[in-house]
Structures are given as structure tokens and as C-alpha cells.
Structure 1
Amino acid sequence: MTATHAIIRKAVTGARIFDGQTWHAGKALLVEDGTIAGIVGINDLLDGVETLDASGQLLVPGFIDLQVNGGGGVMLNDRQDVDGIRTICAAHAQFGTTALLPTLITDTFDIRAKAIAAGIEAKAAGVPGFLGLHLEGPHLSIARKGAHDPALIRPMDAADLDALLACKGAFDAMMITAAPENTTVEQVASLTASGFVVSIGHTDSGYATVVAYADAGARTVTHLFNAMSPLGHREPGVVGAALDRGDLFAGIIADGFHVDPVSMGIALRAKAGPSRIFIVTDAMSTIGSDQTGFTLNGREIFRKDGRLTLADGTLAGADIDMLSSVRFVHERLGLPLDEALRMASAYPADAMRIEERKGRLLPGLDADFVLMSQSLDMVSTWIGGACVFEA
């Protein structure tokens, strides 16, 4: 006897829909079994389909955040378990993030191993919003350490590489930020071949070195402008390479503190394609919480006026969510709303090579979407066709 499978259909009606490419009015988003079945006319809906009236709202692809250190009062560095990852994902779902990479800041070999094990458990448990891990360090440059603990920064050795290669196939997406000062092109090539997206970051390297690492497989640049060699008139640096190389994506923190809005606008206009600049939050545990501060590797981080800093004033991650970031690039930089939305959904999906599953509202892709008011206030967040947050 063959078991029958009931197809669960629902339709969202009344909203102005952005599918990641174009806007649709007077249509319905049709969801079947957690995936997008299509954007159809109201008269094309079958009888008996469950409908959700979203009249007057905007329906857009769910946000994808590739750099999330924490949320809901939890830092991945402090809590490597399924519940910790679940808390981080749920905190960011309040602001439209439907897929994210919990990010481990530079730490010990053992902490990294625990984070990877927790990520494997989170995937097995089907934690909503969990995409994989981003390992930011410890193989960085001390000269461009930012808020990373210099005592924990070190070269990538054979044991490190073996531990990372063992992650092959474990996650839907996996990213590592590394600096040429503490990794080799051969290591980057091996990581790329195993499925990692290698991101160049926290480095003082010059243009030629970045080009060599991109040729070896590095695909993205971590938080453009921050913790990297700048664009100079005789040495283009990491910033110059990121903008000049059409095959390098780049994340950017859109809070107005990490990068001046003028510099952001220049970078967006200068970026060579087809790869794009995408939004990351670099968010810490403060998102979705009332924390006034926390500790990182034993050092106190202070929260004040939208900034997170060490005692010496060094920026230590960001205190911003994805919806606020979208608003910033739309309202402050003057980007069209559709392009601001692509920076938070389609482009990070492309960077991670998951565009056949996420980042757009096209047939066959995951039904991850956000309902917002016309003034870009949150209404609800949906992952796999299920509502995970309602304002």
C-alpha cells in the first residue's frame, strides 16, 4: 500500500509582489509544500486554496544574511549548541531574515569544532532559517584584526585544513573568511573544491595578492572597506581588487558607521559585474534583545547609539538588522527599492551559489518571503511557506 501525500497549497493575495526581478500587481503568490508554485492571477486560483489577504502590503523575497555573529542575547562564540543557533535565527527572523550563516569569530580549535558540530545538529533538527556556518577566522592578519583577539589569530595548518575539509556536504552553504597572510593559495583551492565559499578579509594584502587568491577560488570579500587595505592611487589594495574583479562578490555593512554613505555609493557605482555587493549585518547578540553590552573573548563590548565598540573605540560588529539595512541603502543612498531588496536577497544567494533554492520568488524555489507595509515596517516573516514571525 502506497502512502498518500497531501499537497498543502496556500495563496497570498492583495500584496504588491517583488519576485527578485520585477514587481507584480493584482496577482497572488501561490505556495505548494513549502515552495513557490508561481505568481498567478486571482482568477487562476483553484477552489479550496487557503488564502491570506495581504492587501496594501509588499511581498518580497526573504533576506539572506551571510554574516551573523549573534542575536537574541546569544553569541555563537559563547554558545555552540542547537538552541543557541535557534535563538539567533529566531531573533533575526523578526527583521525579515529567512536564511543566515551563524558566524564564529576567531576562537580556539576546540570552539570551532563545537560550532561545526552544533551546526550539523541544527541542520538535522531543521532549525528554521539556518543555512550553514561562516567561520570568520582565526586565519586572519593581525595587522587588520579589527575586534578579533590577536592572541587567537594563527596560520592555517594541516589539522585546520583537515577539520574544514571534513565539513564537505554537511551544510547547504559554508563560508570561511581568511587572509592571505595566514593561508596559502593551495589551501584556498582545496577549500573551494570541497564546497566552501572562501572570502578574503581582515587582510593588508595588495591587489596582486588578492587577484592570485581569487584565481585560486576565493569568491567574496568580507565587509568591504573594513579591516582591509584601502584603495590607493598606486596600490589598489583589497578594496580596489573587490571593485575591479567582476568575479568577486563583496559584503557591506550598511549602518552608516562602518562605511560612510558617500563611500558606499561610490563602491556601488564602481563595482564591476557580474558579481555584486550584498548587505551583511555583522550583527552581534544585541539584535532582538535589550542588552546594553556583552563580552567577546573576555573583552567587554559596549552598546551605545547604534554602535558596538571595544573600550578603545574599535568597532566590534554591528547593531543593525537586515530590514534596517535595506531601509538605509534605499532611503539614505537613494537606491531603488528593488535594488536594495536584491542586495539583501538575490545577491547573497548568488554569492553562495544557492540561487536555485533561495533569493527570489520564482517557481520551484523555497517559499521564503517577507510581508511589509508600504512604509517598510515588518508585518510577517515566512520560511518554507510557514509563518515564523508576526509583528
Structure 2
Amino acid sequence: MPIKYSYNTHESWWLSPSSLFDGYVWQHDIAFKISHDTITTIAPKCTIPTDDPIMTTDLIACPGYVDLQVNGGGGVMFNNEPSPAGLQTIGRAHLKYGTTSFLPTFITDTSDKLDLAADAVIKTIGQHGVIGMHIEGPHINMLRKGTHNGEFIRPFDERTLATLERLRTNKVPTMITLAPECLPDFTIIALLVAMGVVVSAGHTDANGEQIRTALHQGLSCFTHLHNAMTPMTSREPGVVGMALASHAWCGIVCDGYHVCDTSLAVSIHAKEKSQRMFIVSDAMSTVGGPSSFILYGEEIFVKDGRLINRQGSLAGAHITMAQSVHHLISQLGLAPGQAIAMATSTPADLLSVANTRIGKISIGGKANIVLLKKDWSIVQTICNGQYIDTEKNPNSTPNISNT
């Protein structure tokens, strides 16, 4: 049953779920203490002092979801409103669906707008769930541009390099998606990696040998695997084959439309040993917002669960991390812990150089928690130690009893 709530507040309190997945392993008969926005203690239930405030629930606890590819939410597209106010709206929209940490994603556009987006992230980092920035394009292959506007696609330039340097100077975790074969020199990848930028291949028409070279230079990730990239064939691994065979990380959209469930299952299995496959929503402004929006002057809308343009082509996704986790468990039969890790600890580990407090339930970690029913659907979210009531008041706090 959902936890009852009230407006009582406590500086420190215990949460005792029916079971706990901490991001890596299952724990049972465990409770953890939340002080302000931090988990300060994890201990057996039987050791909790009887006079301490405790919230007991038959729900399952896991870390708040971490989404490394969020284009929009709550009726706002980051490209259309690259501002702190826009990021606040996007963060609030995804919070009620369990996403407590995310990378706002700015897709191919002008250099001026990219700078505005970078400024917004620098001002907002650490607030509203913003943990960094994902720049997707504009240095991608025209042949694999997808919904990106070809007018703004361009070679890698000093302007983008300056923006990346500014983000890293301000200690903003940063990912850039690019087409390696379109770079003037593959050593640019090594330069960016030396700056602390995560370089991901996406919207790319590269062959296997080009990806091999990019991996040697420090490429460490692949963006929305299978989509907007060369497929694996019998004699050419393409981007997909190299991604699955490598030790690199792979983001993947789990809505059943971007990648069919059979290909999804095969891909997850291929990366199972390295545990470097993670879920991204690739969500647009329709999550928590109206069912259509304008991008590059063109209407994008939801039809039969798919987000498409007037030509019927996929244009981002209309799915949450919570729905993605549920899909993997209920439709693919994935082990619950594996599915949850793909939405929590795995994407957090990719950004571990700059972020060590998200994606897991551990002592010293952020008190970002999702509470699930036994059918793995999300019920409630706790963000920075504060209970988020998705049905009523987003600022309400949990009812805590001394039991």
C-alpha cells in the first residue's frame, strides 16, 4: 500500500521497506536513516532505536532513476527554452515518475543557442535533478540525422570546443554525442576525453574500423543503441556490432518502438557481463505535458504511444524511466534487479568521476529513493529526503510513526 503522508517534518527519520535494491544487490530486513538530504545509516531493522521516527512500508525501495538523455518534459523542450526556468519545469515533470537525476539534452541547433543552454546548466547544476549536460549533435552525420535539423549540422569547431571547456571549467559533467567519422581528426576524441568529457557515438554512419579507431582514442559510449547508426551485418560489424562487442557503455530506449523487444533482449544479454547497458528515456516535452509540440518549426505529436512527425518518423520518445523499467521486467522477463540497475547505478557509474552520490542507496549518498509495488510499478518518490506526492502536494512529507 502507498505510504500515508502528512505535513509533519523530521530532521532525521528511518525508512523501512519490505525489501531494498541498493543499485547493485538486494537487501532484506534492512532500514536506512535519512538526515536532511543524505542517507546516514543503513542497519538491520531490529537495531533501530525504538524512539526514533520510522516509516514502515510494504513497498520495495530502490535508488531514484538516473536518465542521461532528457530532451524535455512538462511541455518544455530544452532546445526551445534553454534557461534555468525551462530546466526547472523539465525536472519537475520527470520527478514524479521517479527520475531524480538527469542530463538535460540539447540537440543539434545554432552555436548561440548551445551557449545559452550551457549557461542554463551551469546556473542550475545540482538543482531540480540536473547533474550535467548532454550535447547531442551538431557534429553528426547527415545520413543518420533522424529528426535533427540538417541546416545546423556542421563540422566540429572551436566554438563547440570552447563551450565544452566552459562546462568542464565549471565542473559540469558533460557528454557529447557525435559521429566519429565526421571529425576532422580522430584525436579530437582524445582531447575531449582528457578534458573529462564523455564522448558517445550516435547519429553515425561509421563502419567497424572507424569505431575501433574511435574506441582507441577514448570513445566510451553509444547513444540510443540501434537508432541512427549502422547495423551489424554478416561481414561488417557496423556501429551496433562494435558497441555490443566493446567494453563501452550503451544507452538504449526501452519503449518497444525504437528497438523491438527481441533486439532489445539480445542487446542486453550481449552486454550482461560488463553490465554497461543503461536505459535512457530520450523523452520529449510530452512527458508530463501536452501531447504535441513544435520542434524546428514542425509539429511532433503522440500517436498510438509513438512520438512522430508528420512523415510518420520517430522523433524522440514518449516514455518515462519508470515505464521503461516496468517494460523490461513485465515484457522481456528481465530480472528486476538487472532492470533497476540499468536505470540507476549503471548510468550513475558512467558519470562516477564527477558524481558519487546518485544511483545507489549507500551511506553518504543522496536520499533519492523510488518506492515500487510488487508488480514493479512506481508508487512514490523521495527526492533529497523529501517525499514527493505525485497525486497531490509535491512538497508534502511522509507520515512517520514510532513503530
Cα deviation per residue 1:104-155 (whole Å; 9 max; x = unaligned)? 11110000000000111112xx423111111100000000001101111110
Q: Which residue of 1 aligns with 2:296?
A: 297
Aligned partners of 1:244 and 1:272 also within 8 Å: no
Matched, 1:81 2:80: no
Of residues 55, 66, 79, the one that matches 1:64 is 66
Query: Sequence identity of aligned pairs in percent?
Result: 39
10-19 or 165-174, which deviates more = 165-174
CA distance in 2: counterparts of 1:42 and 1:240, whole angstroms: 47
Structure 2: stretches of 5+ with no match in the other structure: 1-9, 392-403
Q: Report how far residue 363 of structure 1 moved.
A: 1.6
Q: Which residue of 2 aligns with 1:276?
A: 276
The secondary structure found in structure 1 opposite 2:15 is strand
CA distance in 2: counterparts of 1:302 and 1:167, whole angstroms: 32
The secondary structure found in structure 1 opposite 2:46 is helix
Q: Report how far residue 224 of structure 1 moved.
A: 0.3
Aligned partners of 1:243 and 1:272 also within 8 Å: no
Q: Which amino acid aligns with 1:296?
A: L
Aligned partners of 1:231 and 1:239 also within 8 Å: yes
Q: Which residue of 2 aligns with 1:343?
A: 342
Q: What is the total number of aligned residue pairs between the two structures?
A: 380
Cα deviation per residue 1:218-266 (whole Å; 9 max; x = unaligned)? 11100000000000111100001100012x1000000000001000111
CA distance in 2: counterparts of 1:271 and 1:23, whole angstroms: 21
CA distance in 2: counterparts of 1:61 and 1:67, whole angstroms: 18
Cα deviation per residue 1:280-307 (whole Å; 9 max; x = unaligned)? 0000000012x23111111211211111
Q: Which residue of 1 aligns with 2:192?
A: 191
Q: Report how far residue 272 of structure 1 moved.
A: 6.8
- Shift in alpha-carbon separation, 1:50–1:390, aligned structure 2, 3 A: farther
- Shift in alpha-carbon separation, 1:14–1:180, aligned structure 2, 3 A: closer
373-382 or 357-366, which deviates more = 373-382
Q: Which residue of 1 aligns with 2:312?
A: 313
Q: Which residue of 1 aligns with 2:266?
A: 266
Q: Which residue of 2 aligns with 1:361?
A: 361
Q: Which residue of 2 aligns with 1:3?
A: none
- Shift in alpha-carbon separation, 1:212–1:230, aligned structure 2, 3 A: same
Cα deviation per residue 1:324-358 (whole Å; 9 max; x = unaligned)? 00011111111011100001001101122256322
Q: Which amino acid aligns with 2:15?
A: V
Q: Report how far residue 320 of structure 1 moved.
A: 0.3
Aligned partners of 1:93 and 1:389 also within 8 Å: no
CA distance in 2: counterparts of 1:60 and 1:66, whole angstroms: 18
Q: Report how far residue 40 of structure 1 moved.
A: 1.1
- Shift in alpha-carbon separation, 1:83–1:50, aligned structure 2, 3 A: farther
Structure 1: stretches of 5+ with no match in the other structure: 1-6
Q: Which amino acid aligns with 1:83?
A: A
Of residues 100, 103, 107, the one that matches 2:102 is 100
Q: Which residue of 2 aligns with 1:245?
A: 246
78-87 or 272-281, which deviates more = 272-281
Aligned partners of 2:225 and 2:251 also within 8 Å: yes
Of residues 24, 28, 43, the one that matches 2:27 is 24
Q: Which residue of 2 aligns with 1:4?
A: none
Q: Which residue of 1 aligns with 2:144?
A: 144
CA distance in 2: counterparts of 1:283 and 1:60, whole angstroms: 22
Structural RMSD (CA):
1.7
Q: TM-score, normalised by structure 2?
A: 0.90
Q: Report how far residue 48 of structure 1 moved.
A: 4.9
Q: Report how far residue 39 of structure 1 moved.
A: 2.4
Greater relative contact order (CA < 8 Å, ≥ 6 in sequence): 2
Cα deviation per residue 1:175-203 (whole Å; 9 max; x = unaligned)? 11011133232221121111211111000
